[in-house]
Structures are given as structure tokens and as C-alpha cells.
Amino acid sequence: MVPLATHLSVLGLLALAAHQIGRFLQRLHLPVITGLLLVGVVAGPYGLGVLPAEAQGTLRYVDMVALAFIAMAAGGELHLHEVRAQLKGILSIIVGQTVVVLVVGVVAFLLLAPAIPFVRDMPPAHVVAVGILAATIMVARSPSSAYAIIKELRAHGPFTQKVLGVTVLKDALVIVIFAFGISVASILLEGGSLDVVSLLVVALEVGLDVVTGIVVAGLVALLLGTRLPAPVKVGALLALGFGVFGLSAWLKEVRVGPFHLFAEPLLICMVAGFTVANWTPHRQEFLELVEGVAPAIFALFFTSVGAALRVDVLTATWSIVLVLVAVRALGVFAGSFLGGLVTEPSLSRNLFLGMTFITQAGVSVGLAEEVGVTFAPWGEAFAALTIGTIVVNQIIGPPLFKWAIRLVGEAHEEDELEPVNRHVVLVGNGREVLTLARDLVRHQWHVYALLSRHEVPAARSELGLDDVKLVAVEDGRWETELAALGLERVGTVVLMLGDDETAYHLCRYLYRHAPQARCVVRVQNTNGVARFQELDALAVHPALAYLQLLAAVVRSPSVARVLLGETVGRDIVEVTVCNPALDGVRLRELALPPGVLVLSVRRDDQLLVPHGHTCLQLGDDLVLFGEPEDLEAVEVLLVGGGVAQGFGEEHNMT
């Protein structure tokens, strides 16, 4: 127990350092996981020896817990209603990628076998088995990288939504494919043949894993239904994942006729996470627990993987790594193109699809590590070779992803100036929603209001405005109606719900599926403001806002009267300078109407005090005060055109 405790303590300290290094690399636009693996390699037996070779056996416990967690998280990320709208196109791309990548991966291993040390002396059937395992891991993708890039580019549109749907769904399905692949590989490595009986046994094994996963999901649901503190639930969840690995080890001793019964713990955990997220009332709590502990688990796992990495094998096969990267890229491009043609006739867009699926990360490393442990003695060398290709894909994938999004015209970066997006969706109940809707319509905003169905008739009669599109929501299905509404061109979403947990859940959804939209949340508890801010949301607490307004009344009565709407015929607007002709022009040269004042200029997160000699720059945000008709004329001048057009089609209008 002493070596185990010592090794775990050392790993914990290294993981803390690795986490900080990973965050630093992120600022340099490099993957976080690369930093974690790098620290592990430096600290491992091929580096400084802080974690010696004998530590690998004891740290296997960490790997099992982390792998179970990664699989549960992958299953929990798959929400059926989010991909249902484009399911045909998503499945066609996944099938195209999977078939092509599997074929080219296996063929590549057969051709490269003489140059790969641990495969060189294997019989052809064993080489095929290794090729199946490698090709299965090649299919995997990185949802976290996709989310980060889409958020960075503020990307939105049908191409982006399709890519995101494929990424999320495939990350879960790849574990199912891996379960089939590892079972088939086991049969081939044991000298068996792929006849009808063996394939039926594989199907039996996968079916057993699915049933076991559903049972595990029931245990997770029971756990989440208790009133235990969150840390206790997290510990029990991790212990349950560790128990799944113990169960799978026991099942391997069970025989069905001449076959060993192989249970895949990653598939069991993935099914459990998927079931909890889609068919239990605990989805939100489950995802919050997973997200809360994810950074620590990832830091421990990838540091441990780096320490166990066979650097000698990686060094000797570096040229093979580059060949496998090229082979995978070829398979991904070809499979994406062929699959995309099923629903998208545009050749150019289908050519760009493959560029968005190069990046690999957590699940891929987890699968490689699982093979490394399951198939000794060549498993460690296999893991080193595979992880080497994953690291290269991590580096080259994000730039290709960004390039593809820009080529299809769905990137809306900060320096890509657009008129102010006046499309807003209000979500909530109560008269405050109607009051805000009425005020926004008065300022020429396009307003959609999502209300509970029983409130819609009264709201329509009270508003008396056709400009507010009312959407009836049944049984709190806010996310479903948001998804059906079409958020690609929405500029702002205001959440005015009485439940912070529901608001946070919707905020997470918007962060991933409407990255271009600003999210404003009315919160009930000030202690939870930080988590909304992590999602780039503006959290407003009514009591604090009220106190701040009172302070403004005391300090600046005139400004407060403007904010309160007491200055009849005057208004405040914020406009972004998009007109190229105004770049470098001084404020005094604009010849603004006499009643219009420029209150502030915000540039690159700096607030400037304007004066006549202030030179405008493209992207400056100006706060203007004046009469509405004058402000409208100035806005046209600054923007260089009108506001954006309406979005989507009316959905479920009453």
C-alpha cells in the first residue's frame, strides 16, 4: 500500500503541474492534452524517472477509473433530440467515414507490417486484428476541440451544425464500434476464424454489454436521486466505474462453448451515461457532476498515460506515425465526402467536411490505453504508436477545422464586423418577459418569446403586438423548443426563469449550439454567478442590479433618468463601427446631428473617453444618446447598411 500511496501522491502533484502547463499551451493555440502527456513523458521512466517503471502497475487503478469516467461522459454528451433534425445526413457521414477509415486502416497495417517492429513477425490474421483495432481508434474524434473552435469563431450555420452532430454522435458510436472490433480482434488473435458462430458470439457480447450498461444506469439514477452531497456522489460514481472494470475482468473467465466471453467496460459505461442523459430525470445533475470533476480526472489520466508511453517505440516508428496520420486523413476526407453526398449536393462543402474531423483527443487516447492493457505484450507498443498519431492529429486538426469553417462562410469572428444582430429570444414566465418584449419591439428588435402554454393566450391579448412571435412551451420543454426554433441567426437570448438550474442547463446548451448568441441570465442565487460567467453569459441578479441602479441615481441622476426611460424622446443605443470608410476618421469629422452625443467608445476591451479628436477604428463599439430618428440615421452611417434580416420560420406559433 505504501508504494501505491506514494505513486498516487506523486501523480497528483504532477497532474497539478501538467494542468497549468496545459492551460499555458492553450494560450499558444496548442491542445491541453499535449501538455498533460508531455509532463507525463518527462516524469516517466524515459525522462526524469519521477514515476518509475514499477509505478505503472499501481497507476493502472487510476487509468481504469478515468477510462470509465471518459466513457460515461461520452455517452452523456449524446442527446438524441439535438441530432434528430439532421439525423439522416449525420448518419450518412458517420457510415461513410467508418467504412472507409476501417478499410484503409487495415490495408495500411498490412502494407506497413514489415516496417512496424511489434507487428513484423505476426501472422497475417494477427496483423488484420491489430489493423482493426488501430482503424477503429482512427474513427474517433474530439467533441471538446470542436466546441472550442466553434465558440472561438462564433460559427453558426447548417454546415457547422452538421459537423457538431457528427462529432457528438460518432464519439459515442465509436465505443460501440470499438467493442465489435476488440471482440473480432480477440477471436483472430486466439486463432479463431470469423464464421457465423463467432460473429453471433460477438453480437451476444455487445448485447450483454448494452444490457449491463442499462443496469449500471439504473444504479447511477438511484445514486443521483439521493440527497447525498455532490462530492460523495462523484466518489460513488467513480467507484461504480471502477467496479465495471472488475465485472468485465470476471466475465472474461466465463466461457460460451469454445469462446471466452469478452465484456467491454468502455461500452458498458458509455451506455450507462447515454441512458442517464436521455431516459432519466437526472440528466442535468449528471452532466454537472461530470463537468465538475472532468479537469482533475483528465489531468491525472493523461499525465499517467504520458508516463507509461513507450518513448523508445515512438522514436523508432516516428515515420510510421506520419504515414498513419496521412492514411487516416485520406480515409476521413474520402468517407466524409461520400457520406455527405447523400444529403448535400454541394461538392465544395463536402470536400471541406473532412477538414473538420481530423482532431482527436480523450476518447481516442482512452481506447489506445485500453488496447495497451488488454493485449500484452505488444499492447504497450501499439498504444505508443497510436497515441503518437493522436498527438499529431491534435496539432494539425484545429487549424484545418478553422480553415473549413471560414471557407464555407460560417465563421463570425470578432474582427469580422457585422451590423448589430437585433434578433432576440426571451425565455421565461411572468409579466417581466412581456414588458421587456414590448420595449425591445419599440426599439426595432425582432422578438421571439417562449412562454408556458397556459400563459400564451393572456400574453397575446395583453401585448397586442404582432411583432412579438409567441412560442408555446409544454411541460418545461424549453430546450426542445429552443432547438426547434432555429438559433443560427439569433443575436441574444435572455433567460428569465425562476430556476437557476434550468437556466444553467439552457445556458450550457446555448454555449454549444448557438455560440454566436449572447446569453443574458436572470439569476436567483448570487453564489452561482461564476458558473454562468464560465459559459460567457451575463448573469444579472435582480437585488444587486436594483442596488446598483439606486447607486447610479445618487451618483448620476441624469444618466439614471435615461436608463429608467424618464427622458421622453431620448434613447441610448450601442453601435459597432462596420463602415470601412470611417476607419481612421475623427469623431468631429462625422458631423453628427446636434442632439446626438457619443457617451463612450469601447475598443479591444478598453473603455475610451471620447472627444473630438478620437479616431474611429473598425470594430469600435459606440454608445450613443439622442433622439430615436437621429440615432437611427447615425447607426446606418456607422454600420454602412441596414440591420440583419429576420431568422428562421415561425415554429409552433399560437
The model's pLDDT over 290-333, given as tens digits with 9 standing for 90+, comes to 877 888 888 888 888 788 777 877 788 888 889 999 999 999 99
- Residue-level pLDDT at 142: 67
- Most confident range, picked from 214-218, 273-277, 437-441: 214-218
Residue-wise pLDDT for 337-360, tens only, equals: 888 887 777 777 788 888 888 887
pTM of the model: 0.61
Structure confidence at residue 215 as a pLDDT band (50, 70, 90): very high
At 148, list the grid cell. Answer: 472550442
Q: Answer for the pair 76, 143: CB distance below 8 angstroms, yes or no.
A: no
Type of residue found at 77:
E
Distance CA 535, CA 512 (A): 9
Structure confidence at residue 415 as a pLDDT band (50, 70, 90): very low
- At 91, give phi and psi (nearest 5°): -65, -35
- Give how far Cα 439 sits from Cα of 442, 452, 471, 498, Å: 5, 21, 18, 21
Type of residue found at 34:
T
Q: What is the mean pLDDT of residues 458-473?
A: 72
Structure confidence at residue 222 as a pLDDT band (50, 70, 90): very high
The CATH classification of domain 2-407, taken from the options 1.20.1250.20, 3.40.50.2000, 1.20.1530.20, 1.10.10.60: 1.20.1530.20
Taking the alpha carbons of 456, 461, 466, 468 in that order, is the dihedral positive or negative? negative
Is the predicted pLDDT of residue 82 greater than 70, yes or no? no
Residue-wise pLDDT for 2-15, tens only, equals: 566 777 788 888 88
Residue-wise pLDDT for 475-484, tens only, equals: 777 877 787 7
- Most confident range, picked from 369-383, 461-475, 546-560: 369-383
The CATH classification of domain 566-639, taken from the options 3.40.640.10, 3.30.70.1450, 3.40.50.2000, 3.90.1150.10: 3.30.70.1450
The CATH classification of domain 423-540, taken from the options 3.30.70.60, 1.10.30.50, 3.40.50.720, 3.90.1170.20: 3.40.50.720
At 303, list the grid cell. Answer: 499525465
Residue-wise pLDDT for 587-627, tens only, equals: 877 777 777 878 788 887 677 778 777 888 888 888 887 77
Please count the CA atoms within 13 angstroms of the CA of 188 that sit on its side-chain side. 20
Q: What is the mean pLDDT of residues 510-521?
A: 80
The label of the residue with cell 480515409 reads: 331
Q: How many helices (H) and strands (E) does the chain have?
A: 25, 12
Residue-wise pLDDT for 61-76, tens only, equals: 887 888 888 888 877 8
- Residue-level pLDDT at 455: 77
Q: How many CB atoms lie within 10 A of CB 572?
A: 17
At 175, list the grid cell. Answer: 465505443
Structure confidence at residue 648 as a pLDDT band (50, 70, 90): very low
Q: Answer for the pair 71, 270: CB distance below 8 angstroms, yes or no.
A: yes
Q: Which helix (H) or strand (E) holds 626?
A: strand 621-626
Is the predicted pLDDT of residue 643 greater than 60, yes or no? no
Is the predicted pLDDT of residue 647 greater than 50, yes or no? no
Q: Considering only 77-86, 260-269, 536-545, which range has the smallest mean pLDDT?
A: 77-86
Is the predicted pLDDT of residue 566 greater than 60, yes or no? no
Q: What is the mean pLDDT of residues 252-281?
A: 76
- Residue-level pLDDT at 567: 57
- Residue-level pLDDT at 548: 64
Is the predicted pLDDT of residue 33 greater than 50, yes or no? yes
Structure confidence at residue 256 as a pLDDT band (50, 70, 90): low
Distance CA 21, CA 32 (A): 8
Distance CA 579, CA 576 (A): 9
Residue-wise pLDDT for 485-507, tens only, equals: 777 778 889 988 877 888 888 88
Domain residue limits, the chain: 2-407, 423-540, 566-639
Structure confidence at residue 543 as a pLDDT band (50, 70, 90): low
Q: How many CB atoms lie within 10 A of CB 158?
A: 14
Structure confidence at residue 416 as a pLDDT band (50, 70, 90): very low
